[in-house]
Structure 1
Amino acid sequence: MKLARTVSALALATLTGIAMPVAAVAQAQQATPSAENVTGDEIDAFVTAYESVLAIDAEYGAQMAQTTNEAELEGLQEAAQVRKTEAVEATPGIDVDRYVEILAIAQVDAELSARIVDRLER
């Protein structure tokens, strides 16, 4: 179980599913974010969206690994990005901006990261 928690935490910390602007990370760090700013319902919505993003990453990752054509690779990356954005937007209780904000906070707030990992493991 500890290994799964570590792997999940690592996956969360390195998520690149929806591009997070450097400015968003900097803003989150400057604001000294805290887990108190994120409700349990938001964590549930975030986890649902995150799992959708991971599934899309897996689907497109396999396709991207098989192509050597740069134009095809870029097309796959763009299509994956669109699908991930749509998946987050389709998740009740969260939108892309809040998803990115929660992700940024979780990357600097160990308590929030732990709460998310706990929900991922359920």
Structure 2
Amino acid sequence: MSEDPLKTLSDMASDAHARIQATHENINPVVEVRRGMRDAGIPADVMTLDCLRTRRRITLILHDEQPGTLLYQFVTMEDEVGDNFQSMVLADVSAGTLFDWMQDYFG
């Protein structure tokens, strides 16, 4: 795995995004990396996967104080971020994981 977890996660999200578009024409997710938490002084990178059709969002967070861990939650675009994040070891996350999440949650 690369030294930059955000780049690793971005690469996986790009891969999953391409696979989703190739297999599900009704799902066209928008992938965005957000700087808001860092700009607010919180040492974390945030990536959102949005489905404009369903208004659903998957929020992914890489927090500097929890290296090697991906925090994630399934919310709506209106809810933005809640308090209840699930976590998993980043090394266990793959493009396939993100693909499955998008397929199941956005489909």
**TM-score in terms of structure 1 length:** 0.33
**TM-score in terms of structure 2 length:** 0.36
Q: Which has the higher contact order (CA 8 A, sep 6+)?
A: 1
Structure with higher strand content: 2
